[in-house]
Amino acid sequence: AAVKDKMFALRDFSDEIKTEYPPKTFNLPDLQKEANKAFGFALDKTLALAQSLYEKKLITYPRTDSPLLPESDLNKYYTLIGKLASEGEKKLIPSDNRKPPCVRDSDSAHTALIPTGGLPQNLPEDEAKLYELIRSRFITAFMFPRTYHQYTLVIADEEGHTLKARVTCDIDKGYKALHSRKKDTDETADR
């Protein structure tokens, strides 16, 4: 009400190009958070499902605190992506085998939690959901980053009321393009 019908003038404007990298591959705590958010799985249920997938040789050791993968295996990761990624996902992955942020040597005893390349067959529903979550995050971690313009505008009236707005405009959706398509499809299906 205090600013209704007031005249405002532009006080500040900025335009920055920003980069948003894909999320890193999972460590156990991040997997547990994401499985709880996506499926409502309790922490111990997620661990039990991951342990079962590990025993079936479908994922790497689940009790890891690291979201990083060693640099020495970079070519193996791209071979694995070639085997596990859908055609739509492959279009968002650089063809030059560049090193994404999740590939960096660390002091952790275990690497990030990723699929091994074994093909899951006849998994119970909850195991299948968790496997897909791990597979999808692994693939996504290697995709192009999102780049975008971020415009920030600040307007003020003569009495000192200041309003700020931030608007983003994609230059290249990168990994978000796949997730945007899934979201658009889901929203269309809900109508």
**Which residues are part of the catalytic machinery?**
61
CA geometry: angle 77, 131, 66, nearest 5 deg: 55
Which residues are registered as beta bridge partners of 186? none
Identify whether the C-beta of residue 50 lies closer than 8 Å to the C-beta of residue 113.
Answer: yes
Q: Of 139, 134, 132, 148, nearest to 94 (Cα)?
A: 139
Return the CA Rg of the chain: 21
Total residue count of the chain as it appears in this document: 191
- Cα-Cα end-to-end distance for the chain: 36
- Can you tell me the distance from the alpha carbon of 170 to that of 145, in angstroms, rounded to the nearest whole number? 11
Q: Of 157, 158, 139, 137, nearest to 93 (Cα)?
A: 139
- Can you tell me the distance from the alpha carbon of 121 to that of 58, in angstroms, rounded to the nearest whole number? 10
